[in-house]
Structure 1
């Protein structure tokens, strides 16, 4: 067995956590993976993997070898991709994570158009609101919407994410339209549970002071599309990102209120592991996302939102 195949097999075993999973990724039999791993250890004269009946783990030597070997393989792939990119050709696998609603509405169309440009490339897209571990789960990059946490990941801003307060025409007809932020205290509020309450209704007044109101939530959910449906049904007022509700506003199913206020603002970001070089396919995909979304992003083109300085811009 050639040396490169042994190294590639070991890296797959280390990243997938088992021989069976590595065999699936490589498209070979488990016996072939075991044989390559054994040949590598015999050639090096060291044990790289601790094997038990239930689990597999790397030895200290195996961990050190994995760090060097995985970087070498990444550099080789980057060299291939960089050479191919000169002629506009990208190939291989790109593993991406993204939030659910944003992923379905905006990330998926961008992925589709990117694949159309690069027919030799294939993408593994994981759409989920959980915070994935980009490095340990083997993602090339993750798209996140919200406040960035301190980490070793490199972040590139893709687009601003603005929020807008709105309700259904029927709700406003029955309960009246708030004229000031303080009026929200007398209304039913539908809250997104993944955002701290204090941040949702905060703004800067004319004296430059931060102001906050915290209306009591009548309905709480961890999914923006569910909250949008509840608002359209007339259950209360919502504060939602424009990327989620712009069509409902354009079609008149939801009516923006208090549009002279710039509510808290976040951002959409691409996150990827640090390294000496950003791979050609990751760089090309991130550039593609920036061009697809724009600043201001296309979903804000017909939104009646303030363009002033936001509070909680992140």
Structure 2
């Protein structure tokens, strides 16, 4: 039987179309992936790839071999991961993607307790404000909002997140407080540009009575990062529409004042995503259960409501 690393290198290289992309998925160097594939070809006595300086293409034999091994390899990987333990405890590298500021503020503080409970798990956490391809990039899980639930993924909702209007007490000193979302246009707006679309985000606020109004801020500053927007609010530079994960700390400690109390926009759900597998790795299962439990105990969902 071929070493599992050789088969993994072959399948990942075939699916991604390059040794470099396969190396990123596997946490290896491109040279190591290329060597693994070469050793597999040598032991089989066939050429699996046609190599050139510009592209990597499967031979006819390589295509047939990929069809034969890819499904069995995935099953074998799942089976090995599901029983990976050290001393009966879940073990292995746990690759998770999460937003930069959100991860630092809400997930990293739970790490000590998680490691104390599962010392054989090694967190490999990626802090990046983008939607990752969980399966294609080899992630065990991801935390975020607005992720398309494609086939093969499962979502566990942590909360529905509201967006609210905030400013600093010093900025609002001497200024009239808005009474309707349209009044925000008279103030300096710190607005957010969406990284995926490049457009400035706009929001329609609603209250519990069902009234609604467009919150069209006059853009004084444009940032692409919500934590940077929160910092600008602390610097008394204007008014912002912030998701509750970024607004709640400032509202709790008095750095922010809430404008238009009772008005908010629904940003959607914040969830923990992971691949749907018959044999979910133990390290992933305990991480998901731990995070869902801790967020629930902390009353996170209630804190994310702005109405």
Query: Could you say which TM-score interval applies, normalised by the shorter chain?
Result: 0.7 to 0.9
- 1:76-114 Cα shifts (integer Å, max 9, x gaps): 343344445798611122222111111221222334433
Q: Relative to 1, partners in 2 of residues 1:30 and 1:163: Cα closer, same or farther, differing over 3 Å?
A: closer
Check if 1:224 corresponds to 2:223.
no
Task: Give the corresponding residue for 2:217.
Answer: 215
Cα separation, 1, equivalents of 2:276 and 2:246: 31
CA contact (8 A) 2:204 2:212 kept: no
Number of residue pairs aligned between Structure 1 and Structure 2? 300
TM-score when scaled to structure 2? 0.80
Q: CA RMSD in A?
A: 3.5
Distance verdict in 2 for CA 1:9–1:256, change over 3 Å: same
For the pair 1:33 / 2:36, whether they are aligned, the reply is yes
**Ranges in structure 2 where 5+ consecutive residues have no aligned partner:** none
Deviation at 1:172, TM superposition (A): 0.9
1:116 is aligned to 2:119: no
SS at match of 1:170: helix
1:151 maps to 150
5 Å-filtered alignment, 1:40-189, equals 40-42=43-45, 47-59=47-59, 62=62, 65-66=65-66, 69-83=69-83, 89-145=89-145, 147-149=146-148, 151-152=150-151, 153-189=153-189
Alpha-carbon deviations, 1:165-213, whole Å to 9, x = none? Answer: 211111111322222323212211111112866752421573x464323
Q: Distance in 1 between matches of 2:154 and 2:63?
A: 23
Higher alpha-carbon deviation: 17-26 or 235-244:
17-26
Structure 2 partner of 1:245:
247
Tell me the equivalent position of 2:286. Answer: 284
- 210-219 or 54-63, which deviates more: 54-63
TM-score normalised by the chain length of structure 1? 0.78
In structure 2, relative to structure 1, the CA distance for the partners of 1:120 and 1:27 (3 Å cut) is farther
